[in-house]
Structure 1
Amino acid sequence: MHWFAVILQLVLLGSVWSQPNGAHIPLYRSKTQRVTRRDGQSTAIGLGDVLDVTYSALVQVGGTQTPLVLDTGSSDLWLVSNTCTPNCTNAGVPLFSQASLHTTGLEVRLLYGDSRTGTQAAGPIGIDSAGITGLSVSDQNFAAITSTNTTVLETGSAGILGLGFPPIRYVSCVIWRELLAAELTNASSLKPRSSIPLAQAMTSPMDRGSRRLDFPSFDFLSTSSTLQRKRDSVTGTSDSAATMAIASFATHGPLFTRFISQNVLVAPLVTITLQRDTLAPGGNAGLLSLGALPPGVDASQLTWVPVRGYTSAQGGLPPSRATPNEVYPLVWEIPMDNVYFDGVKLPRSSMSDMTISLSALLDTGNSLIRGPQDIVEHIFAQLGGSDLTPPSIECGTPHNLSFEIGGSLFPVDPRDFLHMDLRDSSASDGSILCTPALAVTDPPGNGSFLYSWSLGDPFLKSVLSALYYGNLTHPSRDPPRVGLLSSVPQNAGDALRDAVAQADAEGGFPVKSDAAPTGTFLATMTGIGGVPQATVYLKQSTSAARSVTVPSASISGTSVVLLIGTAFSFLLIALA
């Protein structure tokens, strides 16, 4: 995910998809949405949106309920504790009570960014109940951060909630990997995490820059005969470390993995739509549905594609000896056919091995769309740029960046393709300037992931995305896949022009942020394919700021709309 820098600057298909045990979570609640509660496990809770850079959900860990950043690019659970130093004062959100921590005896130190940033977060690995929207599991592992110099709290969140697969080597793998390694070597020999060598520095979920996720390493499964086998004291038999690793998904795995392993969800599925809170607020209702598609959305309307699996030769998780042909996914990486810009098919990048098939990562923690350097340079050149610096372009001119996936075109809404230009907000003729929400990522291969594109929030605001985990331990029996449904209206270009005309008249674009609310969700408006739509209400004011009208019954916090004129004013969010 790449939201930190931006904050500083600005199949079980069919009937199961809409079963009542699915949970539907809004990112934004309009005045007309009703709060309802269904029987059983059908619960829901709102999500926050900070400047379209981070999207957060209220998560319960032990006795603490606090907003955590939703991240499909990682998979673990960590939150800041109330003993955290030095940058944790005036947090504005609830912090985990360190006095209530049930420790595992292990600690983690998460190193972010690169050698120039020195950003870190550290703390013990705890175990407690954890849940979201009324769905919960016991004995969930998480990191309670006691020392950090990150600024995650400035985004109105207290940590990270990952939606990825267990083996990702990132924040996610630190906890899963260390708990598993400790179990394999003998639980009685646990040492504090500070005395266990960290395989390598982690890049930050808050600032990956052009770098991609660190690639997994499963060497710890075979570094010694002790790690390869663990004697069963009762039966006298031995299991391979790979078998234990796969089985550990249910005990040491991420929260959503354990939801699936314990049959908390009616189907191993989460569905995401993201709301637009900048430039032209509205679009899809921000919604996370657990275990089902949103009511009224039919699975047959979606384009379904497989998730890439990584063989052990490609660096993937080794299969067990009993199922040697299993291939496991690492991230939400899907095949892609082609990329188009303003109706013209773009060439394949010359910077990657042509034997590597074209694919893309879906990453809610990425506030941009990231692609190969030569292709990004080509697009910037079409927009009048001359290098990798995003060019300043007129906001009122719609552009069409589209991705062909599974034989269907998925355009990025022109209102999401643009960011307000904070360097120079207006041209000499007075027109408002923007920059493309596009940046560079590293080439695939060479011991790394195989995706060429990272499709972040600008793309995800333009679709409904359904993430189907399938069978976690035996993917061949029920493969993971992703379903996409475009929600971009035919008149999106005209809507952009209208938004720019209104900004010209009022002195700037509206920008708003929503605190993560509580309560359940029932859509009152739907768009293409039944996708729930957001409704935005703004109080008119003669001042430079306008307030967003939000329901008081289930929202904790204050949303503020700022008008961006010739200068950028940082948005402050007050949480109750």
Structure 2
Amino acid sequence: MTLPQADVSVPFSAKTPRRKSKRLALAALRGRNTSSSRSSPGNTVVLDGSDSDFEYLANVTIGGQRFSLSVDTGSSDTWVVQQGFSCFDLDGNPQSQDLCAFGSSGFNPNASKTFAPFPGASFNITYSDGEVLLGPVGVDNVAIGGLCVEKQIVPIPTHAAYLGDGINSGIIGLSFPGGTTVFNTTDPRKASKANQIIYSPMFLSAVEQKKVKNPYFSIALDRGSFEQEENDTFDPNLGFLAFGGIAPVPVLKNSVTVPIQGFSTTQTVLPGSNLFFYTVDVDSYTFPGSDKVVTTNNNTVLDTGTTVNFFPSPVAAAYAAKFSPPAVVDPDTGLYTIACNATVPDFAVTIGGKSFSIHKRDQILPTGKDVNNNTVCITGTQDGGADQGGNVFILGDVFLHNVVTTFNPVDGEVIITQRAPY
């Protein structure tokens, strides 16, 4: 399949460290939940990176006010903290706003000429590490690059127990209506599945408003250098978010189109959908000795909001043993740690009968300093839990650095294309 160039391509404005809660939040949801030039045409947004290159950000305008928001295919709401918000620590004790570490003072509804409140509704999202965001909901115009979505539902929380990074002020959620967290109650503490308001996330609103020619968006995430990840607080121009066509980076001919698990490709996504994530079947993992590792669970999510890959325990353990020296589990974090100069074995993921290789550079990530000021590194392939039905595994940024992923939430499919080496 040859994909057209995008109507809008947005460069990532930054990468920043992913909140620890995201990986835990997905775990908590397990029971529910062609080459082209490197340019930036109208519907393509350049993405940036910051502070260890653990999260990708894009500049977004809401009601005429500009914010840096995290791009997340693993959630559905596009939200921004409200000006004057109350900050709390994770035990619920009031704190100064600085502790929550948002990248701005927040959205001011009174400064927007297009804002309207969403009466009778509230926003309530809780992360499993204790982070909580609560507050009212509004409707406003959301613009990113050359794409403008009108009258989009936008949560604007007023209460936050949040472990921010000092750069982002919220999230752009690009997943499905079933994952939205707006509720039919003015008291967010009374939110429940019974009063959930399922609405169209930002990209589906753009499709409904005919703002894009094709019903898909495409993401190319660039890896930063080891030095950037270790030292820089802000890394500009680290990839693209493209609307209506493929992201503008050089690609190879190796490509596959696969259905999103549990979703009919003949059905249009509508409010009421029970789909939460971009979940695909993984045929196999290939690395030295992988012929001795048998896995059966294919419940794997393509998630820009998670830095590393989380694979079944047997895969993570067998691959960790092939590093030289081998990776070992840190007893405090449960993560595989590795010598930063270790020799990295090959690794590839087969999806839809096509094999997609992961660059060795993506398999060792610096995460900070120890008490002796030595850099601590982890592997890019981590333990996602037992290989059994109901568990959710993740293809995170470590995988996504190596492909262009084109998401079609309307037809229920994903197109994965191997990137040219860079």
Q: TM-score range by the shorter chain?
A: 0.7 to 0.9
Q: Secondary structure at the match of 2:177?
A: coil
Structure 2 CA distance for aligned equivalents of residues 253 and 318 of structure 1: 8
Post-superposition shift, 1:335? 1.2
Q: Secondary structure at the match of 2:399?
A: helix
TM-score by length of 1: 0.57
Post-superposition shift, 1:458? 1.0
Match of 2:126 in 1: 111
Post-superposition shift, 1:459? 0.9
Q: Output aligned runs, 1:373-452, within 5 Å.
A: 373-383=313-323, 384-385=326-327, 387=329, 388-420=334-366, 422=368, 434-443=377-386, 448=390, 451=392
Structure 2 CA distance for aligned equivalents of residues 296 and 318 of structure 1: 31
Match of 1:272 in 2: 219
Match of 2:12 in 1: 27
Match of 2:49 in 1: 49
Structure 2 unaligned blocks of 5 or more: 15-36, 88-95, 229-234
Does 1:166 pair with 2:147? no
Match of 1:260 in 2: 207
Residues matched between the structures, number:
368
Could you report, residue by residue, the CA deviation over 1:151-190 in whole angstroms, capped at 9, with x for unpaired residues? 33x241100101111112xxxx212xx2xxx4xxxxxxxx
Structure 2 CA distance for aligned equivalents of residues 119 and 454 of structure 1: 21
Q: Secondary structure at the match of 2:4?
A: helix
Q: Secondary structure at the match of 1:145?
A: coil
Could you report, residue by residue, the CA deviation over 1:384-437 in whole angstroms, capped at 9, with x for unpaired residues? 35545413335252322211112222122111111126455999xx9x873312
Match of 1:102 in 2: 116
1:303–1:83: structure 2 CA closer, same or farther, 3 Å change rule? same
Structure 2 CA distance for aligned equivalents of residues 439 and 258 of structure 1: 35
Match of 2:72 in 1: 71
1:310–1:399: structure 2 CA closer, same or farther, 3 Å change rule? same
Q: Secondary structure at the match of 1:416?
A: helix
1:36–1:389: structure 2 CA closer, same or farther, 3 Å change rule? closer
Q: Secondary structure at the match of 1:309?
A: coil
Match of 1:193 in 2: 187
1:328–1:113: structure 2 CA closer, same or farther, 3 Å change rule? closer
Q: 2:418 aligns with which of 486, 489, 502?
A: 486
Structure 2 CA distance for aligned equivalents of residues 465 and 378 of structure 1: 27
1:47–1:94: structure 2 CA closer, same or farther, 3 Å change rule? farther
Post-superposition shift, 1:438? 2.8
Q: Is the 8 A contact 2:58 2:71 kept in 1?
A: yes
Larger Rg: 1
Could you report, residue by residue, the CA deviation over 1:287-318 in whole angstroms, capped at 9, with x for unpaired residues? 1111011458689652221111259xxxxx99
Match of 2:157 in 1: 145
Q: Secondary structure at the match of 1:272?
A: strand
Structure 1 CA distance for aligned equivalents of residues 417 and 40 of structure 2: 26
Structure 2 CA distance for aligned equivalents of residues 419 and 85 of structure 1: 34
Code of the aligned partner of 1:71: D
Match of 2:241 in 1: 288
Code of the aligned partner of 1:480: G
Q: Output aligned runs, 1:139-538, within 5 Å.
A: 139-152=151-164, 154-168=165-179, 173-175=180-182, 178=183, 182=184, 191-194=185-188, 197-199=190-192, 252-279=199-226, 286-294=239-247, 301-309=254-262, 329-342=275-288, 344-345=290-291, 347-349=293-295, 354=296, 358-383=298-323, 384-385=326-327, 387=329, 388-420=334-366, 422=368, 434-443=377-386, 448=390, 451=392, 453-470=393-410, 479-487=411-419, 527=420
Q: Is the 8 A contact 1:280 1:415 kept in 2?
A: no
Post-superposition shift, 1:94? 5.7
Q: Is the 8 A contact 1:17 1:299 kept in 2?
A: no
Code of the aligned partner of 1:96: F
Code of the aligned partner of 1:293: I
Match of 2:4 in 1: 17
Post-superposition shift, 1:75? 1.2
Q: Is the 8 A contact 2:177 2:271 kept in 1?
A: no
1:35–1:358: structure 2 CA closer, same or farther, 3 Å change rule? closer
Code of the aligned partner of 2:97: C
Code of the aligned partner of 2:379: P
Structure 2 CA distance for aligned equivalents of residues 300 and 390 of structure 1: 34
1:138–1:151: structure 2 CA closer, same or farther, 3 Å change rule? same
Structure 2 CA distance for aligned equivalents of residues 36 and 413 of structure 1: 25
Code of the aligned partner of 2:143: G
Match of 1:473 in 2: none
